[in-house]
Amino acid sequence: MQHFEGEKLRLYIQKIENLMSEKMEIQENISDILKQAKNDGFDPKIMKKVIRLKQMKTEDRENEDM
């Protein structure tokens, strides 16, 4: 039974490590896109703000506007 629990723990850790690796790749891709946008004359800070606002709930966004 103890061996089974150790194996389960190892699998959970492996899954988390894989997801963390994917997350780093995604963050690098986002960074590359923001750099491309900046080279095309767009402001990455404004783009990030727009994305953050789009992800907010409508009522939260309205409260921030006030």
Give the model confidence (pLDDT) of 51-62 as tens digits.
998 998 888 777
* 56 DSSP assignment: S
Does the reported pTM lie above 0.85?
A: no
Task: Note the pLDDT tens digit of each residue in 5-23.
Answer: 999 999 999 999 999 999 9
Question: Is 66's pLDDT higher than 80?
Answer: no
Q: Tell me the mean pLDDT in the region 27-39.
A: 98
How far, in Å, are 9, 11, 35, 39, 40 from residue 45 at the CA level? 40, 39, 11, 13, 14
For residue 27, pLDDT beyond 70: yes
Higher pLDDT, 53 or 30: 30
